[in-house]
Amino acid sequence: MILITGGQRSGKSRFAQQTALSLTANPVYLATSRVWDDEHRQRIERHRSERGPEWITIEEEKELSKYQWDDKTVLIDCVTLWATNYFFDLQSDVDKALAALKTEFDLFTSKNAHFIFVTNEIGMGEMSPTETQRKFADLQGLLNQYMAEKADEVYLMVSGIPVRIK
């Protein structure tokens, strides 16, 4: 399992895609995003257009473990959007969302596959101005710690450069 983290537009997805393609000719791209608005839809379309026909794309907002992944390389992009789905569905309850995410993560990663997770370090900037944003930053930080502990490799993206942390 590989965890790739960093800030917005740090090159996480590009590095993750390159890593997946170095491991297999036909990786799975597991997209976790909901479509929040028109601008977000455009971002999703741009990501789709950047991937070639070698990718198998599956869109799944929450239940990553419901698919068979035997001997596949699966790129999950991204953990932050996946966590957002649980967070809002569980009325911004950090404890409930974290418990649900950990359970699903453990089920998912118990499969016989190579996993590459893309996540965000949202807590490296200024303190969020609203309670909901602070709660989500807490959730994201706790989930990232949980995943990093279990990962075989962890990379922090800095201005497009992968820095190996673990």
Pairing assessment for the beta strands 153-158 and 114-118 based on DSSP bridges: unpaired
Domains in the chain: ranges and CATH: 2-164 (3.40.50.300)
Q: Return the pLDDT at 39.
A: 86
Residue 49 has pLDDT above 80, yes or no: no
Q: What is the pLDDT of residue 47?
A: 77
pLDDT for res 8: 85
> What amino acid positions are annotated as catalytic residues?
47
Enter the pTM of the model.
Answer: 0.92
Over residues 120-142, the pLDDT tens digits come to 998 777 777 899 999 999 999 99
Name the β-bridge partners of 155: 4, 164
The number of C-alpha atoms within 13 Å of 156 and in the hemisphere containing its C-beta is 9
**What percent of the chain is predicted at pLDDT more than 90?**
78
**Range in 37-51, 75-89, 105-119, 122-136 the model is least confident about:** 37-51
